[in-house]
Amino acid sequence: MASIVTCPSCGRKNRLRPSPEGVPRCSVCLAVLPWVVEADGKTFDAELNASVPVIVDFWAPWCGPCRMVTPALERLAHNHAGRLKVVKLNVDEQPEIAGRYQVQGIPLLVLVRGGTELDRLVGAAPERDIAAWLQRHVDVGAGAGAPA
């Protein structure tokens, strides 16, 4: 399953597939793209295998607090393009993965680096709290495309 991401620089739509190396760049202007993808049972493990830290957003469409967190995660991915990946997983469609991660409440953000869970944040935290939580675990302040 490929995700479509619009380049913030030139507006070109880009198809992103799971990649363990590098960061996504626009096919036209080569700008670093915000890395936000939706995963399913077939792509989830591949999406976690990335060159940058991954925030897994466990959510459901009926969850109001989940819908409040989504724009904050999208802004963080945009602001930290090349240094962060956001993987969204609908727990209603993928209960086996939710069970594997012992999801008991949503929204749940799980920070993963190199296949290892670093931390989790439960509930609809404001963007500044999510950013502070992320900053405690990874260096997202470096230049675009720099390793975190």
At 99-130, the pLDDT tens digits run 999 999 999 999 999 889 999 999 999 999 99
39 found inside a domain: yes
So which residues are the catalytic ones? Answer: 63, 66
- In Å, what is the CA distance from 137 to each residue of 12, 81, 95, 146? 32, 17, 27, 16
Read off the pTM.
0.89
**How far apart are alpha carbons 17 and 81 in whole angstroms?**
16
Domain interval for residue 115: 35-137
- In Å, what is the CA distance from 12 to each residue of 73, 82, 126? 21, 17, 30
Per-residue model confidence as pLDDT tens digits over 49-79: 999 999 999 999 999 999 999 999 999 999 9
Given a contact cutoff of 8 angstroms between Cβ atoms, the answer to whether 94 and 44 are in contact is yes
48 found inside a domain: yes
Per-residue model confidence as pLDDT tens digits over 79-95: 999 999 999 999 999 99
pLDDT at 98: 97
CATH for 61: 3.40.30.10
81 found inside a domain: yes
| Residue 42 scores a pLDDT above 70 | yes
Name the H helices within 17-126.
44-48, 64-79, 95-100
Total domains in the chain come to 1
99 found inside a domain: yes
Question: Can you name the residues that pair with 119 across neighbouring β-strands?
Answer: 111
User: What average pLDDT does the segment 23-44 reach?
Assistant: 94
